Amino acid sequence: MTQQEYRQAKFQAPAGATEILLIRHGESRAARADDPFPLVDGQGDPELAPEGRLQAEAVGARLKMLPIQAVYATKLQRTGETAAPLCAALNLAPIINPDLHEVHLGEWEGGVLRIKAHENHPIYLQMQAEGRWDVIPGAESAEAFKTRLMRGIRSIAEQHSDQLIAVFVHGGVIGQILEVITESRPFAFTGADNGSISHIVVQGDVMTLRRFNDTAHLQREDPLGGAQLPT
């Protein structure tokens, strides 16, 4: 008599869920004290660096064979520029979501944050220790940031049931969304690499993290990108 076998099951998104790929934009141009970034609605809006354009091409090549139904970006040009190769391959226009732009950095906009981080400024160190953006003068509070990001993610999920969606966003955005989903400590997911892919599944109020900071398509930057891992 043949015994019933029970194989390990591969993950499948539940019926009605939306799978969202959160892609961090490519590297933007370097900050300089004598050449601040232009501002859009008070936020720094640098263009991609040459390295960032290469990362954008790699993202497009990685994702163009997937059944992606829509592509989203933010009002800041670095996300639209990163999305462009994928949009061209899929013949899709990016949709701007008004809630998913980067955290507002108050007096440290325009590239100032990068400079202060390099200097190990006391406020920057306090920000890292406390996991709060709003220790920066005039910066957005964590609660306001969370509220608009969750509104943005839910609005996308509501419009794309049973679909795979690519959303080009920012490092702070990815970190905050994944912190909410996993109920982790503040800033636990900050530092997603430029051009990296994270993967969440949204079904109503239930959100699940499937993948964080996947850079396998950036093999020159990721020593594991071309490696065959043991099984």
pLDDT in tens, 31-56: 999 999 999 999 999 999 999 999 99
Strands 197-203 and 206-214, sheet pairing: antiparallel
Please state the rounded mean pLDDT for residues 143-152: 97
Among 178-182, 209-213, 226-230, the range scoring the smallest mean pLDDT is: 226-230
The pLDDT score that the predictor gives to residue 172 is 97
For residue 85, is pLDDT > 50?
A: yes
Single-letter residue type at 207: M
Q: In whole angstroms, what is the distance from residue 169 CA to residue 229 CA? A: 29
* Band of residue 231 on the pLDDT scale cut at 50, 70, 90: very low
Q: C-alpha angle 173/176/179, rounded to 5°?
A: 145
Q: Angle 42-183-154 (CA atoms, 0-180°, nearest 5)?
A: 60
- What is the pLDDT, as a whole number, of residue 228? 47
* Predicted TM-score (pTM) of this structure: 0.93
- Please indicate whether residue 120 or residue 3 has the higher confidence score (pLDDT): 120
Separation between Cα atoms, residue 127 and residue 143, nearest integer Å = 15
* Residues in Cβ contact with 195 at an 8 Å cutoff, skipping those fewer than 6 apart: 23, 24, 25, 26, 27, 52, 55, 56, 58, 59, 82, 215, 217, 218
pLDDT band per the 50, 70, 90 thresholds, residue 229: very low
At residue 2, the pLDDT reads 81
> How far is it, in rounded angstroms, from Cα 224 to Cα 222?
5
The rounded mean pLDDT for the chain is 94
Distance CA 200, CA 147 (A): 18
What pLDDT was estimated at residue 230?
A: 41
Enumerate the β-bridge partners of residue 39.
44
Q: Are 189 and 179 in contact (CB under 8 A)?
A: yes
**What's the rounded Cα separation, in Å, for the pair 32 and 104?**
19
For the chain, the domains span 18-104+142-214
Distance separating alpha carbons of residues 85 and 60, to the nearest angstrom:
5
Q: Among the listed ranges 6-15, 32-41, 151-160, 166-175, which one has the minimum average pLDDT value? A: 6-15
Question: C-alpha angle with apex 184: 182 to 190, nearest 5 degrees?
Answer: 100
Digit-coded pLDDT (tens) for 105-131: 999 999 999 999 999 999 999 999 999
Q: CATH number of the domain at 18-104+142-214, out of 3.10.310.40, 3.40.1190.10, 3.40.190.10, 3.40.50.1240?
A: 3.40.50.1240
Tell me what percent of the residues of the chain surpass a pLDDT of 70: 95
Place of tokens 């190990």: 120
User: pLDDT class for 87, splitting at 50, 70, 90?
Assistant: very high
